[in-house]
Chains A and B, each alone.
Chain A
């Protein structure tokens, strides 16, 4: 195919992508832009040119091992519904714009740590970007039959493509100064590219499997005749198993911590609920992508055996070899899509880190704290634009000056291992309160150098294809220091080996340093917030404890420098509304300080924002216990608020019942009186009956009112108990006398032989009220003439028990506790409503409790109920 034609196609294709991004940015509210599918597809930026060509290459040379890169993600993604939700929630709540910012904030707005993470990411990812450029360039040469790599940059198509990508990323990546804002144009374009690369890859897979060969079994049969086939397609015993395990673990970390993945998954997340779709759709995408890898690899091995064709290029060479140029073009475009998505998102993520966590906090803070808002936002954007260009140009020169002879996969894996050095700090920070910034710093540094020693240096030497004593005999000839077999560990292949040792030292140092050095209060406060994110999420601006002195006008000045007058005004108004604060307040409280800090974090990173805000507020040091205390109290205040509401609700319910209970007798009184008034000719009998009812109902009303007042007095403690030494048997006797008429009417006997004589401190009137209430209940529920009611006492070492029991039908088990509630009516109540206000037992309970006693109900055998209360023998 002629290069001009291919260039023309590339430009057309890029124009389409640019247009889609432009359209999405303009229509950022459209449902085509905001949906879980676009989000999920954008995550597929994980599948780069490496997947497109490298997986096939790896499958062709080492069998099934390529799967580990996708196994890790597929295993970990279902847990995202909890894990990633937590991360996203923290990131959103604090306007975090990158992995570096996340870590820097967690360890107390640590400026150095943010910069360190940024540097590790840049070192890990730039070669990886150059790998994508290499893939574009190589495949371009293959498809246009160019075999000579042009020596002049100006003749190299890849250079122009790289510049176009930089323009794209710079234009769509810096629409907002606040980097925690979503980049909808770029994301929509990436989602589209994810569809394109998958469809074209499936096309080539189907073509190879079903057109070049007669289906999977045909390929398998032919491939199984090749030498080494068996060995390649197995895990290779325990040793191989370890390699598989660590490679899967590595990719598990990569899917979460690669800067571009953090960007698309966390920063670009619009709604948490999109994660639900991700949990099944994204693994499905990865599975689909990998279905044909092994067949293309086998097909390539069969077709190209002994021809020396680079296995990484099988995907492209297979259609070319069979003369299908159109399909080859599709493959080229698919790989091209995969590469440019990766380049764009990676540079976007890295440029944010570079500006917010390295360049601004270390170089521009002074300048920003004096100049105007428009200059500042423009300057921030420019820093990011320059960063994007520099990164891409750097990657381009990296690819030009190092002949990357090694396969795509190896460089990708090295970058995975470097990124994995952030894992202990990151996950430790999420789940371990004690994880400290010292631990994080030293852990990352040691892990980084172990990786350099065990992987980057020997790999670079290897790629020069010179034999070296360093690799074969170890540093200074010390066997134990052999980079690929450190401390004599021979179990692993180089990548898992480096991964194992680097993480081993990383975690060890992180843990030891964290345990032995306690972080400052600021760090511990953020640790609490991150680890207990669900608990503190509701606190918002209250979650960071701050004490000191600050003026609103100072904070406003700082905010205006970055947001401009209008946005600052709007943000502050919203804040005042949220917390119901007077607009003219002069002194800023902790919430406003935190809020301002967050507002700036998106634009200049958490460390810089912290420094800027700290420059205008006077902060007092707080001790760690104090931090935890205040956090706890704020939490409790929230809870007690809830309790208050609950109590309000209960009060409402109580009033409802009271009004209902009062209205019922009044209804009868009114109806009966109206009838008497309207019917003069009513017979005397009926008239008397009605009048008696009216009297009874009136008594019921006054009894109810008295009881309610009584209960109120007791509950609020308005009435003082008249505590005196009284004889309990006297009190009981008096109570029995006052119900004797009631008992006599019903033919019920009251037995008080079990009552002992003892002097106890209590309010006699009140206790008599309780006993009378219990006795009349007992009489009420006993059957006429056969009913037996007994009162007796029991003296214990520190209290006296008074019991009243009957031989009635007992109390339903469900009701034993609730009968003491106000207005409680059993669900199992029979038709006849017992006479009473429904408050008697509630009042009794209140009286006994104010005497420091308890009251309870139980059923007795063979039948009947017993209610017992206690009175303490000693009173103070």
Chain B
């Protein structure tokens, strides 16, 4: 069973994503800010992370940076899921090593497809 980590501080977004991937037979973990995301990533080593950017304390960019620095976690696929849609934000995200940048609001079908694509 593939493991997915959902990182977002909006409860309703988390709720929808949780339902979506549970139904696709993923083992789903949830973190509500950057610090928690890093803790869980370290503990569970998921296959893929859906990462919000604008979060209190440690933001999404910072989380990705720290993931890439860790030899144990730098293989994890990361999809940024953010309402920030300026070209500069997207470029920064991809430069930091995200596998995909999807802007909010997103299509659930497309998101699920992207996740499968990356995990192939």
Chain A residues near B (Cβ < 8 Å): 656, 659-660, 663-672, 674-675, 678-679, 686, 689-690, 693, 696-697, 825-827, 829-831, 833
Contacts and interface: CB of A to CB of B under 8 A. Distances in A.
Contact of B108 (A660, A666, A675, A831): A675
Contact of B20 (A675, A689, A826): A675
B8 to A, nearest CB: 9
Nearest to A697: B12
B70 interface: no
Contacts of A679: 23
B83 A667 contact: yes
Contacts of A827: 56-57
A675 B104 contact: no
Contacts, number: 73
B105 A667 contact: yes
Contacts of A672: 12, 15-16
B109 A667 contact: no
B108 A678 contact: yes
Given A666-B105, A827-B57, A671 B16 contact: yes
Interface string B1-41: 00000000110110111011001000000001100100000
Contacts of A668: 10, 12-13, 15-16
Interface of B: 9-10, 12-13, 15-17, 19-20, 23, 32-33, 36, 54, 56-57, 83-84, 86, 104-109
Contact of B104 (A664, A689, A833): A664
B10 A664 contact: yes
A660 B54 CA distance: 9
Contact of B105 (A656, A671, A696, A831): A671
24 contacts: A659-B83, A660-B54, A663-B104, A664-B10, A664-B104, A667-B83, A667-B106, A668-B12, A668-B13, A670-B106, A671-B13, A671-B105, A671-B108, A672-B15, A674-B107, A675-B16, A678-B109, A689-B15, A690-B15, A825-B56, A827-B56, A829-B57, A830-B56, A831-B56
Contacts of B36: 831
Contacts of B16: 668, 671-672, 675, 690
B33 A831 contact: yes
A679 B16 CA distance: 12
A673 to B, nearest CB: 9
Given A659-B83, A670-B107, 20 more contacts: A660-B54, A663-B104, A664-B10, A665-B12, A667-B10, A667-B83, A668-B12, A668-B15, A668-B16, A670-B105, A671-B20, A672-B12, A674-B107, A674-B109, A675-B16, A675-B19, A679-B23, A831-B32, A831-B36, A833-B10
Among A671, A674, A686, A826, residue most surrounded by chain B Cβ atoms (within 10 Å): A671
Nearest to A692: B12
A833 B12 CA distance: 12
A826 B20 CA distance: 31
A827 to B, nearest CB: 7
A690 B23 CA distance: 15
Closest 5 CB pairs of A and B: A668-B12, A671-B16, A663-B83, A667-B105, A667-B104
A626 B47 CA distance: 73
Nearest to A830: B56
Among B16, B33, B36, B57, residue most surrounded by chain A Cβ atoms (within 10 Å): B16
Nearest to A826: B56
